[in-house]
Each structure stands twice: as structure tokens, then as C-alpha cells.
Structure 1
Amino acid sequence: MINCFILDDEQAAINVLTKYITDTPYLHLAGSTTSAPQAIEMLKQTPVDLLFLDIQMPLLTGLQFIDLYGSNLQVIFTTAYSEFALNGFERNALDYLLKPIPFDRFLKATEKALNYFNRQAITPNAPVADDFILVKTEHKGKLRKVNFDEIVYIEGLKNYVSIFTNKQEQIVTYSGIGELEERLPPRQFARVHRSYIVAIRMINAIDGNELFMKDAPRIPTSGRYKDELLTLLQKSILQNK
């Protein structure tokens, strides 16, 4: 779960973001305020991962606030003024949302945050990230939560991928297999073929260019994908000795 904080001098803008955060399963609202000085005190006492930060505010602008107090936070800037976008990205913001903020654009920005924390989770002492991904299904506008420990393997086809789970489900999402690979933790999943990603824990055996999987058909592997998989499995064996 990503802990979020909202700093915006307009309560109406806070209300919109609060509703969006509440409706997004991987986000949790840790606090909000219209006052930059109050935000400083609240952030000292509240664990926060992601800051939604307005740029045009009295006393301190959002850019000044992040320069002074936000070096340890990931930031999504929010503003009604598009000319501030470059300044926001120069401060390594995850994204920049232009008001009024539509929900689909909000989701795109927060998925960037989720991907960031998932990548950080594979390094020592990194922030704890969620153990799932959200994918867009064939039903227009519907997001589906898929837990990592449910995934057996993923098959990429021309314009979509199918996620096969240990619940005998096939979840179709309109995404490239490479894009999906970037969102999965590499200690748990391996690309074994240009068209397949597998959960490492589900591999029972390797015979030639085929993987024998638990609760799945045989999966092909070859070339550099097979070499990388064997290297990964060898490292796992050494670490467990």
C-alpha cells in the first residue's frame, strides 16, 4: 500500500484527490492540508511515500516546498498552470497532473508510482511495495487486481497478453508483454521466451527447451532467455545452500 499525502491550498482540489485515492486499491490517504507550514509538521509525524503537491500556493510554492522539505518523497505535482510542468520534471517528479484532473489520468500517474515502488522493492532497504499489479481487462474501463502469488505464467500474443493464474483463470489485458515484464519483480518472475513469462516458484523441471510447470502446460524456452533463466536458478540454488 502506498501512503499518500495531499498539499493543496484549495479544499475542493483536496476533495477530488481524496475521492480518487479512496477509489484506488493500492493507495492509502495518510493526511491532507491546505497549509504548507502545517504539512511540514504533519509529515514529520506521518509515514508518507507519495506526495500530491500543488504548485501555486501562498507562503511557499510547491516547488519551494519540495526543494526545502521533500527530498525523501516521491512527488506528483498538481496545478492549473501547464507552464510549470518543466520545473516539476526538473525536480524528478513522478508525474504532473493538470487541473481539472480526470480519473483516468490520475490512474496513469499513480501506476507510475506503483511501478516505481515495485522496482525499489528488489533492492536492500527499499520501501515496501505492494505484492500485486493492476491490469486493464477486456471490459472497457475495468481494472483488475492480480496478486503476484496467483500468477502461474503469462503468454503474449499479437495485441494483448493472457495471465494464467493458480485459480484456473485466464485474465486478458491489452498490454505488451515487455511492458508487463517491467512491472513484475524479477526475483519472482522470468522471461523465458519472447512470448512467455513464468513464475519461478512454479517451475518443476527443465528438459531441453521446455519448462515443466506446476498447474500449467509445457512452456518453451530457448536462446538467451534460457541462459538467463539457468543463471537465475543457479544463483537461487547457491543462496539457499
Structure 2
Amino acid sequence: MTCIIIDDEDAAIQLLENYIKRTPALSHRCSFQNAVEALRYTKGNAVDLIFLDINMPHLSGLGFLELMENGSKVILTTAYSEYALEGYKYDVVDYLTKPIAFENFLRAVKKAEERMGLGTDVKKPKRSGELDDFIMVKSDRKGKLVKVVFSDIVYIESMRNYVGIYTRQKERIITLLSMKELEERLPKEYFFRTHKTFIVALSQIKMIDGGEIVLQDVKDRVPLGGTYRQSFFERLETKIMKP
């Protein structure tokens, strides 16, 4: 992804430039201390990702977002976290609170990749009927293989030595696969582990009710374990509407 930095602090720019150099997925184009100059640049140059400070003279980061006309993805960088919620009105990918840790920087870049469909470790399911949108699993009967289409999966449950795959057709497919084996094969942007014994299809989530997830096509509720809760809400962050 091509990227630019907009920040009025030299130290902040240097830190981000260093992080970008260490991240193979990013290609740094230029840095700006003046958001007005950056706005002119974006009008004549295609940019995939912008690291944007909020509190700047002449034109603030939020003012920049108001005027920006291209389709660049934006990650906010700010020392003032109270401004971050305003940034989400403009559908920003993420915000990083200064001082920025490299681990948090990488997490935000990964979110940008997912938004743009560029995650190299993700195999996206294709249209139904194409080769990569399903797997064949061994059933509980010897010699029997069952086709499981990714888009049909509602949730998956570990059952000691077995795994149960629950589908939109209200089937339960029992297989000898382990949860780890199955989780590694599923397209990561469409499925998420919410508990040590459960994986859910994100598209099938109807409601989050405290520590439980209500799903679309089944009556069952899936638990949201404390160990997975924070990463689960981070995954859904761009989908959650905030006041």
C-alpha cells in the first residue's frame, strides 16, 4: 500500500517513517507537516493509506477529512484520544494514540489491508461453486467425505475428539478434525474464535447480548469468552456505530 504521513511534529514523522520502513506491506511516498499541502498532493496523486494527525495548525486532521475527496484509507495518529470518536464519522480505519507502539501500528495496518482486501494470509471464499469456497471433511462414518461451503457455516463447536459444524440448512456435520486444524483452514476475515470451543461466522451475527452471541439462522447462542472478548470487539470496531 502506498502511504503518506501528515503530522506537524518532526519526531512523530520520523517514528512513523521508521515503522513504515520496517513494514513490507507499505511504500512511503512523502510526509507533510502542513495538511493544506497534503490535501493538494492527494488531489493529484493516488494514495492508499494516510497516517493523519488530528491536532495541527492551519488545517486540523478532522478538517482534512472533511475536505478529502479521494478514496484513501485513513489511520488517525493523535495524543488526544478524545478526538478519536469524531474521526469515526469519516469511516477511518483506526486511530493510534501517541506515543505509538510498533505492535499497535502493525495492527492498524493489518486492518487497512483487510479493508482493501489485501491481506496476504487470507484466502477469500469465491462465488459458490468455485473450488476455493468449500472444504471436504471426513464425517463420523468411515470413507464418507462431506462438502462444507464456507458461506453455509453458522458456527463451529468443539466436542472433545470431534468438531460439530452447524450450517444455515440446520445441519450438524460431525468431523474428526481438531478445532486448530479447522480454524487454520477457514478464511480468517469471515470467521472468528469467540471461545475455546466455538468459532462463529461473522456474517451470521444477529446480536451481542452480554457474554453471548445470537446468530441468524439457528436458535443456539454462542458464548463470548473473556479471553477472546477484547480481540473480538477490536475485529468489529469498524462496524460498531458510535454516538
Q: Give the TM-score taking structure 1 as reference length.
A: 0.54
Equivalent position amino acid for 1:81 in 2: Y
Match of 1:27 in 2: 26
Q: Check whether the contact 1:30–1:46 (CA below 8 A) recurs between aligned residues.
A: no
Match of 2:12 in 1: 13
Match of 2:181 in 1: none
Displacement of 1:96 after TM fit? 0.6
Root-mean-square deviation (CA, aligned residues, Å) is 2.6
Three-state SS of the structure 1 residue aligned to 2:112 is: helix
* Structure 2 unaligned residues grouped into runs of 5+: 154-243
Q: How many residues align?
A: 145
Alignment pair present for 1:184 and 2:183? no
Among all aligned residue pairs of Structure 1 and Structure 2, give the percentage whose two residues are the same amino acid.
40
Match of 2:105 in 1: 106
Displacement of 1:31 after TM fit? 1.3
Equivalent position amino acid for 2:135 in 1: V
- Relative distance call for 1:105 and 1:222 in structure 2 (3 A) is same
Q: Give the TM-score taking structure 2 as reference length.
A: 0.54
* Structure 1 unaligned residues grouped into runs of 5+: 119-128, 134-182, 196-207, 211-220, 229-241
- Relative distance call for 1:63 and 1:71 in structure 2 (3 A) is farther
Q: Check whether the contact 2:79–2:98 (CA below 8 A) recurs between aligned residues.
A: yes
Question: Any idea what the Cα deviations from partners look like across 1:131-151, whole Å, max 9, x if unmatched?
Answer: x23xxxxxxxxxxxxxxxxxx
Aligned pairs (5 A) from 1:65-104:
65-104=64-103
Alignment pair present for 1:222 and 2:147? yes
Aligned pairs (5 A) from 1:72-221:
72-118=71-117, 129=118, 132-133=120-121, 183-187=122-126, 189-192=132-135, 209-210=144-145, 221=146
Equivalent position amino acid for 1:47 in 2: A
Q: Check whether the contact 2:134–2:150 (CA below 8 A) recurs between aligned residues.
A: yes
Question: Any idea what the Cα deviations from partners look like across 1:140-186, whole Å, max 9, x if unmatched?
Answer: xxxxxxxxxxxxxxxxxxxxxxxxxxxxxxxxxxxxxxxxxxx3232
Equivalent position amino acid for 1:184 in 2: K
Displacement of 1:88 after TM fit? 1.2
Which runs of at least 4 in structure 1 moved beyond 3 Å after TM superposition?
221-228
